[in-house]
Amino acid sequence: MLLLTIFVDGVVYASWLFIVALGLTLVFGVLKILNIAHGSFYALGAYAAASFVGWFASLGLAPAWSPVAMLLAAVAVAAVVAPLTERGLLRAFHGRDEVLLVLVTYALFLILEDVTKLIWGATPYYVTEPYMLFGTVEFGVMSYVGYDFVLILVAVVCGLLVWWGLNRTRSGKIVLAVIHSEEIASSMGVNVSRIYTFAFMVGVFLAALGGALTAPMLSVQPGLSVGVIIVSFAVVIIGGLVSIEGAAIGALIVGFARALAVHTWPDAELFSIYVAMAAVLVFRPQGLFQRMQARKI
Amino acid sequence: MKRIQSVPRLAAVASAVTLGFAVQAPAGAQETFRVGVVSFLSGQAAESFGIPAVDGAKVLFEAFNAGQAPAPYDKKGFGGLTIEPIYVDEAGGATKQVQELKNLYDREKVDAVVGYVSSGDCLAVAPAAEEMKRFLILYDCGTPRIFEERDYEYVFRTAAHGAMDNVSLGRYLKAIDMKVGSINYINQDYAWGHDSQRDFELTMAQLYPEAKKQQDLRPKFGAGQYGTEISALLSKPADVTHSSLWGGDLQAFILQAAPRGVMKRSQVVLSAGDHVLPGLGDKMPDGVILGARGAYGLMSPDTPLNRWWFDLYEKKYGVYPVQAPYRMAQALLGLKLVVEKAMAANGGKKPDSAQLAAALKGFEWESPAGVIRMANGNGHQAIQETAIGRTKYDPEKKRVELVEIRRFPAECVNPPPDMKAEDWIKSGFKGAKC
């Protein structure tokens, strides 16, 4: 029973993490940006979900519509914030040192923290209706909320869609070409800047979707963005920074390590995540699924 | 003609001089008393603690300056001195706060500082104020260490420290004759969580020596996701589940734990949970036992002063005051009386830090939450009565009420002046008057 509980807890936590880390992976893979502001997009998604769910309720729509409101919230954040950020700020630093870009996104993270407060204030928002939409699941002494299993489903769908989009569509292959070599893709007629904007938009959408899906489980208030970005970085580093499979395995490793620690050695909960990361990096310093890099002459 | 013209000119000059004196005279009377108010205006503690406390300060300063507070707080300002508050954000860590404190005293020329929620900040700023020989009131932070580890001349804390919260929780369980054979813990992994758990464990060891500890969970501050911890609590349900979680962490824990049945399988006791009640509303399960770190909010006593304060805050902000504004109010009400007492001893002139410190040492005053007595820490640490209650949602009022409230006198749940909190609990609450 304990093993089953650890397994379920690990998978649920990993699902939440994977959705956010997938966006981080995509942005790093295409734009070569370790995007600290990804946590802010997650928070924006949570706030937007709170507003959209409230708006749907004010229109007299039943709570069953709230997942649609959450999805629209994530789309809205991606549609508004991603082009503004990518074209208005990040493009000016394109090709610059990766450390500089980390600092730029950190500055953006701080700015967006205050922007969310300016828009939504410091008062918490509650959007708990979707959390109870799917009932509870009992087995033995354990009780889970059905929403947790929906989260797993959403994570699987997101992973499969991004994988399929990248590997089985023409547009995806163009994105892969840009990841492999921006210069060659550009010389072949690919509009690289459009690919950047598109990839960044998908990355922001995934962060915002992660935030929107989390909103029903907590009170949406300032400070949401910090915790998620730290653990997401651990996930993508374990996975090798540019791999969807890596992000999935990384999220599962972190999820299982944390669940095992909480159930058996709670004092080591936080420590366990970084021990798992260190253990992977000892044997594979480049992460589990680092892509082969073309040697540039 | 010239003479005739000079008369009005002279009159004008005389009038101007007279007017000048006339303007100057009230200017002397309108001397200000500058108060630095430090609390969290940003970050995770802002919503639950910092902003409500600062809101409380603002509404009180308005009432003081207008002379609209009830007696004995009815003199305008502080003894006629107009109060000029300066608000500072506590976010940024202890090192920044020490610098901000020095700025308040040296650059802003404040006469007193009232502030600090974080125990880490309190431990850092107290020695700095002492070194500068400047008057400082700590209004909120909970660590017992401040006055247990060293003596201060200029530093005071106008609220009881955290030991009271957990001793009173244990006493409440005993008072309602609850059978406790096992206890689970979920507390944040930093000083507040550790200290709270230690005090509750020590208390329960005295009151329920047979009770066994089961789960001991330490999620990080700001965790947000408690699914795994909730599974751990459900896998070994205990008679009592203790938590000192607060703010967004507590809200998230309740929102995730209630649907999974944690509150039905175990008696959850929260040492500082009152502040989440207005926001959670019907999402707060019935039957949770909680404290407010004092007789605050819905557990505050029915006195004229409390009714005035409760209504003042509720009318201004549309929500009733919870623990944070109460602690700010008791600090500012005490400060007002102390300034006026020190002014009287100083011939009506504005007192300096040493005179303020002398006036506050061992002082007592009535607050909305009952009498505050600077009885411990050599007259620098307050003790106060407290209360514990049980949640029950009232659908008519559309708010969570607290029922089965039990009150505990200050001497019942606070250590005596000559003992450290931990030693006092271990001694079996020696000298407690319940």
**At CB < 8 Å, which residues of chain B contact A?**
42-44, 46-47, 51, 189, 215-220, 222-225, 227-229, 231-232, 234-235, 237, 248, 251-252, 255-256, 259-261, 279-280, 283
- As a whole number, the mean pLDDT across chain A is 92
Does residue B26 have a pLDDT over 60?
A: no
- Given pLDDT bands bounded at 50, 70 and 90, which one contains residue B196? very high
- Given pLDDT bands bounded at 50, 70 and 90, which one contains residue A294? low
- Given pLDDT bands bounded at 50, 70 and 90, which one contains residue A295? low
Do the Cβ atoms of A227 and B224 come within 8 Å? yes
Do the Cβ atoms of B223 and A143 come within 8 Å? no
Position A180 scores a pLDDT of 85
**């893979």: which residue's tokens?**
A29
- B18 CA: distance to closest CA in chain A (Å): 50
Bridge partners (DSSP) of residue B302 are none
Position B44 scores a pLDDT of 77
Q: Are B263 and B292 in contact (CB under 8 A)?
A: no
Which chain B residues are closer than 8 Å to A144 by Cβ? 260
Q: Are B195 and B144 in contact (CB under 8 A)?
A: yes
- Residue B268: count of CB within 10 angstroms of its CB: 26
Does residue B5 have a pLDDT over 90?
A: no
Give the integer Cα–Cα distance in Å for B138 and B162: 13
Secondary structure of residue B428 in the 3-state scheme: coil
- Given pLDDT bands bounded at 50, 70 and 90, which one contains residue B128? very high
Q: What is the pLDDT of residues B322-341, one digit of tens each?
A: 999 999 999 999 999 999 99
Residues 199-238 of A with CB under 8 A from B: 214, 216-219, 221-224, 226-228
Residues 97-116 of A with CB under 8 A from B: 113
Cβ partners under 8 Å of residue B51, min gap 6: A122, B39, B40, B41
- Given pLDDT bands bounded at 50, 70 and 90, which one contains residue A157? very high
Position B190 scores a pLDDT of 85
Which chain A residues are closer than 8 Å to B248 by Cβ? 124, 218-219, 221, 223
Give the one of A2, A141, A217 whose C-beta lies nearest to B252's C-beta.
A217
Does residue B25 have a pLDDT over 50?
A: no
Which stretch of DSSP H or E encloses residue B374?
strand B370-376
Q: What is the pLDDT of residues A90-148, one digit of tens each?
A: 999 988 888 999 999 999 999 998 899 899 987 889 998 899 999 999 988 899 999 99
Strands ordered across the beta sheet of B212-217: B212-217, B182-186, B240-243, B267-270, B289-291, B386-394, B399-408
Does residue A250 have a pLDDT over 70?
A: yes
Position A291 scores a pLDDT of 62
Do the Cβ atoms of A263 and B228 come within 8 Å? yes
Do the Cβ atoms of B228 and A145 come within 8 Å? no
Which whole number is the average pLDDT over B30-40?
A: 92
In this structure, are strands B155-157 and B212-217 parallel, antiparallel, or unpaired? unpaired
Which chain B residues are closer than 8 Å to A260 by Cβ? none
- pTM comes to 0.88
Q: Is A126 on the interface with B (CB under 8 A)?
A: yes
Does residue A296 have a pLDDT over 70?
A: no
Q: Is A267 on the interface with B (CB under 8 A)?
A: yes
Which whole number is the average pLDDT over B62-85?
A: 96
- Comparing alpha-carbon positions, the chain A residue that sits nearest to B40 is A122
Position A32 scores a pLDDT of 87
Do the Cβ atoms of A131 and B229 come within 8 Å? no
- A109 CA: distance to closest CA in chain B (Å): 14
Which whole number is the average pLDDT over B56-70?
A: 97
Does residue B9 have a pLDDT over 80?
A: no
Question: Where in chain A are the domains?
Answer: 18-224
Does residue B7 have a pLDDT over 50?
A: no
- A249 CA: distance to closest CA in chain B (Å): 19
Does residue B3 have a pLDDT over 50?
A: no
Determine what percent of chain B is predicted with pLDDT higher than 90: 83
Position A140 scores a pLDDT of 82
Position A91 scores a pLDDT of 92
Core vs surface per residue B23-46: b (16+ CB within 10 A) or e: eeeeeeeeeebbbbbbbbbbbbbb
Which whole number is the average pLDDT over A7-12?
A: 96
Which whole number is the average pLDDT over A23-34?
A: 91
Q: What is the pLDDT of residues A173-217, one digit of tens each?
A: 999 998 888 889 999 999 999 999 999 999 999 999 999 999 999
How does DSSP assign chain A, residue by residue?
A: -HHHHHHHHHHHHHHHHHHHHHHHHHHHHHH----TTHHHHHHHHHHHHHHHHHHHHHTT--GGGHHHHHHHHHHHHHHHHHHHHHHHTGGGGTTS-HHHHHHHHHHHHHHHHHHHHHHH-SS-B---GGGGTT-EEEETTEEEEHHHHHHHHHHHHHHHHHHHHHHHSHHHHHHHHHHH-HHHHHHTT--HHHHHHHHHHHHHHHHHHHHHHHGGGS-B-TTHHHHHHHHHHHHHHHHTSS-HHHHHHHHHHHHHHHHHHHHH-GGGHHHHHHHHHHHHHHH-TT-TTPPPPPPP-
Do the Cβ atoms of A222 and B283 come within 8 Å? no
Strands ordered across the beta sheet of B82-89: B82-89, B32-39, B112-115, B136-138, B155-157, B381-383, B370-376, B364-367
| Residue B275 DSSP class | G
- B421/A1: higher pLDDT: B421
Position A42 scores a pLDDT of 97
Give the integer Cα–Cα distance in Å for B268 and B262: 8
Lowest-confidence pick of A232-246, B124-138, B202-216? A232-246
Interface A-B: count of C-beta contacts within 8 A: 115
- B41/B105: higher pLDDT: B105
Does residue B100 have a pLDDT over 70?
A: yes
Q: Is A178 on the interface with B (CB under 8 A)?
A: no
Position B410 scores a pLDDT of 96
Which of B247, B249, B254, B324 minimizes the C-alpha distance to B293?
B324
Most distant pair of Cα atoms in chain A: their distance: 62
Does residue B11 have a pLDDT over 80?
A: no
Give the integer Cα–Cα distance in Å for A255 and A231: 10
Which chain B residues are closer than 8 Å to A145 by Cβ? 256, 259-260
Do the Cβ atoms of A124 and B255 come within 8 Å? no
- B116 CA: distance to closest CA in chain A (Å): 19
Q: Which of A8, A19, A221, A258 to mutate to test the interface with B (most CBs of B within 10 A)?
A: A221
Which chain A residues are closer than 8 Å to B39 by Cβ? none
Residues 3-42 of A with CB under 8 A from B: 5, 8-10, 12-13, 16
**What are the CA-CA distances from residue B133 to residues B30, B35, B145 (Å)?**
26, 16, 20
Cβ partners under 8 Å of residue B427, min gap 6: B419
- Given pLDDT bands bounded at 50, 70 and 90, which one contains residue B145? confident
| Residue B396 DSSP class | T
Q: What contacts 24+ positions apart, CB below 8 Å, involve B338-347?
A: B338/B363, B339/B33, B339/B78, B339/B79, B339/B81, B339/B112, B340/B75, B340/B78, B340/B79, B343/B78, B343/B79, B343/B81, B344/B79
Position B30 scores a pLDDT of 56
Tokens of A147: 């929403």
Give the integer Cα–Cα distance in Å for B319 and B227: 31
Does residue B130 have a pLDDT over 50?
A: yes
Q: Is A271 on the interface with B (CB under 8 A)?
A: no
Dihedral, CA of residue B17, residue B19, residue B20 and residue B25, to nearest 10: 130
Bridge partners (DSSP) of residue B2 are none
- Given pLDDT bands bounded at 50, 70 and 90, which one contains residue B21? very low
- As a whole number, the mean pLDDT across chain B is 91
Tokens of B239: 């008679």
- Given pLDDT bands bounded at 50, 70 and 90, which one contains residue A224? confident
- Comparing alpha-carbon positions, the chain A residue that sits nearest to B258 is A145
- Comparing alpha-carbon positions, the chain B residue that sits nearest to A144 is B260
Position A124 scores a pLDDT of 86
Give the one of A2, A136, A270 whose C-beta lies nearest to B220's C-beta.
A270
Tokens of A275: 């021990």
Which chain B residues are closer than 8 Å to A15 by Cβ? none
| Residue B283 DSSP class | G
Does residue B241 have a pLDDT over 80?
A: yes
Do the Cβ atoms of A269 and B219 come within 8 Å? yes
Give the integer Cα–Cα distance in Å for B23 and B427: 64
Domains of chain B: residue spans and CATH: 29-161+301-383 (3.40.50.2300), 163-298+385-426 (3.40.50.2300)
